[in-house]
Structure 1
Amino acid sequence: MAKAQQQRTRANEGIKGSQKRRTRAANTRPPSRAHWVAPLTLAALILFSLLVWWMMSSFAGNNSADTASSIQPIAALDSPDFHSLLVDPQDPEHLLFGSHAGIQESRDGGITWEDGELRNADAMQLASSPKAPETLYATGHDVFQASHDSGQTWQPVTHNLPGTDIHGFAQDPTDPRRLYALVMGAGTFTSADGGTTWQPLPTQPSGDGMHIALAASAGSLYAATDRGLMVSRDGGQSWQALPSQPSGEIMSLAAPVSDPQLLYAGTPTGLAKSTNGGESWTNLGPDDVPVLAVAVTPSDPNRVFLLSDAGAVYRSVDAGVTWR
């Protein structure tokens, strides 16, 4: 009897020992997958969020730099003043720059410049027409000259204008003999014979005129005045103020010959662009660069040049989206 009791006691102790060993084994077993997947997932999400934040911060920083100090001009002109810019209709690499001292020319798309043949003569405005690509005009203070060999030689134009303080000048892209001239103190005039005889327009744009540009569509004339941008849809017979205006004073205008709705306006804060004849505007930059002159390549309206008040020459090959 006693012996049987001892056997039952040892059996119970064996069962308890086995249970303790199983408990210790369970406590020392590696944690299940569910225990470590959740922390790793949380850590991955945190790292991903930090990566996205860093990438967005870097992009914003680079983007702001591209629109400001990182944009470098292709050239810097040496001149006491800066007025006009023109791309030769016959040669897109041939550019002309006009100042009070005459004309400088570039033969490599604006990279390098040298003195042209018109010197010691004010060239406030330069004009040309694809219909007569070899003929160029230069006007300014007591200056009205023409070249019939793409700028190699220049001759004074005989005319009947009341004065030659010509601050605005445009040549019709469809009729090269049709010219427009804005004479300070006298008004806006038109010529149908290449500049020999002139008649005043029957109505004048309101305000003091500063610059004019002729659009590609025949009869559309734009005038920048101290009261804003005016437009004539009938060759200067009547004028209306555009409902939308570029921000700031209009310092220069350019109308590409290949697109009747496209218009560029230089302002104190950069270049503005309209794709609907001046009804609305988009600012293109370069930011905070006063644009004193702008020129569009006749054969490629996406290739645009502008000139800053410091003589910096900028070029865009994508209609002003980017500059270099």
Structure 2
Amino acid sequence: MEKVLILLGTKKGAFILEGDKQRRSWALKGPFCNTWPIQHVAADPATGTIYAAGGNAWFGPAIWKSTDLGETWTHSSAGLSYPEGETPIAAAWSLAQGRDALYAGVEPAGLFKSTDEGETWKHVSGLRDHPSREHWQPGGGGLILHVIVQHPDDPKKLWVGISSAGVFHSADGGETWEPRNSGTRADFNPEDQRYPEFGQCVHSLALAPGGGERLYQQNHCGMYRSDDGGRAWTSIEAGLPSTFGFPAAAHPRDPDTLFLLPLNGDIKGRYMPDAKAAVWRTRDGGSTWTALRNGLPQQDAYFGVLRQAMATDRLEPAGVYFGTGGGALFASADEGESWSCLAQHLPAISSVETLVVES
């Protein structure tokens, strides 16, 4: 019998909601990780090991690990450091379990790799060796590598998103990198510099299923799709209530289906448009969009949702989940057609991921 775990990173530790396969009954566990600020919780689907990336300028960075579905935890920061003289790492922000290694993104922006299940870490120095690095500028939350994507069929292919340096791609496992931002706007630049080679503020990247190189990107300045691994991006924001938002979540099986949470704008409060909550779904790769509202609050919804705080599960039909800055967790067991609130009054939710395991 399968069960579903919803993995939450929050400002006061990690939490886990455990539900049955029907996704009707849920139990909350936590907080874990000594209530450290946890930016991202993710799992290795092959082993069930759960990892949590966290820290801040006070605690320093660390990656936590649980091999028993959250019952016990250990953590390590061995190797999570830059050479002496560079700005120290304040926190670990993102995780990705690849076929060959576990990857972590940190602040100030950089990429680290572990080949021993998070016990020790090695800097993937090729990214920060890129000649554009001296020109990288922090976004509103800092200079952070907050999204890591590895191609499921070729572990040497990596994409990362940095605020606000843009999307970078490596075809050789991180030895060398190139910016892949053609077609994405930087509206905050002067008019003649709206489409730079790098410097865009990417918010979220989602790799579509199916083994190709289709990527979806929610940017500070628009919503985009690329069918060639980010070499060229096409706007798919027509029909959306806003060009601004943070998270995007791919369907586990259909490359044309994506779930999105637009907010009302970068300088208008960054909450649900018209204070009415909706998840927007496309079934045709972004050509058209549908607002999914059934069960979501339709008045006074002045909450935001952060860049890693939405996810899908691999069940049929796919479940969709998102967490808010006010500590509420919403879920749909029917691909967004209807919604319920699974938890309230949690700390501000930084990330949402799922894990399906045998009970």
TM-score range, shorter chain: 0.5 to 0.7
Counterparts of 2:247 and 2:261, CA distance in 1: 5
Counterpart amino acid of residue 84 in structure 1: H
CA contact (8 A) 1:173 1:257 kept: no
What amino acid maps onto 2:124 in structure 1?
V
Aligned to 1:219: 213
Query: What is the match of residue 229 of structure 1?
Result: 223
Instruction: For 1:145, give the aligned amino acid.
Output: F
Corresponding residue for residue 302 of structure 1: 318
CA distance in 2, matches of 1:312, 1:105: 25
- Is contact 1:261-1:274 (8 Å) kept? yes
Equivalent residue number for residue 184 of structure 2: 205
Match of 2:284 in 1: 276
Other structure's SS at 1:74 match:
strand
Q: Which residue of 78, 87, 90 maps to 2:46?
A: 90
| 1:252 aligned counterpart, secondary structure | strand
Distance apart, 1:190 and its partner CA: 0.8
**Gap change, CA 1:241 and 1:282, over 3 Å in 2:** same
Mapped to 2, the partners of 1:124 and 1:317 lie a distance apart of 28
Structure 1 CA distance for aligned equivalents of residues 235 and 203 of structure 2: 15
More helix by proportion, 1 or 2?
Answer: 1
TM-score w.r.t. the length of structure 1 is 0.61
Partner of 1:154: 121
From the CA coordinates, give the structure whose radius of gyration is larger.
1
* 1:252 maps to amino acid: P
Q: 1:202 to 1:276 in 2, by over 3 A?
A: closer
Letter in 1 for 2:44: D
TM-score, with length taken from structure 2: 0.56
**Cα RMSD after superposing both structures:** 3.8
Give yes or no for contact 2:183–2:232 (8 Å, CA) kept in 1.
Answer: yes
List runs of 5+ in structure 1 lacking aligned partners.
Answer: 1-70
**Residue 166 (structure 1) aligned with residue 159 (structure 2):** no
Q: What is the identity, as a one-letter code, of the residue corresponding to 1:178?
A: K
Count of matched residue positions in the alignment of Structure 1 and Structure 2 = 249
CA contact (8 A) 2:63 2:118 kept: no
Q: Distance in 1 between matches of 2:31 and 2:323?
A: 9
Residue of structure 1 equivalent to 2:175: 196
**Secondary structure of the corresponding residue to residue 195 of structure 1:** coil
Is the CA contact 2:168–2:177 (under 8 Å) kept in the aligned structure 1?
yes
Task: Give matches, 1:4-153, under 5 Å.
Answer: 74-75=28-29, 77=31, 83-91=39-47, 94-101=49-56, 102-105=62-65, 114=73, 116-118=75-77, 122-129=91-98, 132=99, 135-142=101-108, 143-153=110-120
Letter in 1 for 2:220: D
Correspondence 1:181 to 2:160: yes
CA distance in 1, matches of 2:216, 2:169: 14
Shift in CA distance, 107/248, structure 1 to aligned 2, threshold 3 Å: farther
Deviation for aligned residue 1:184: 3.7
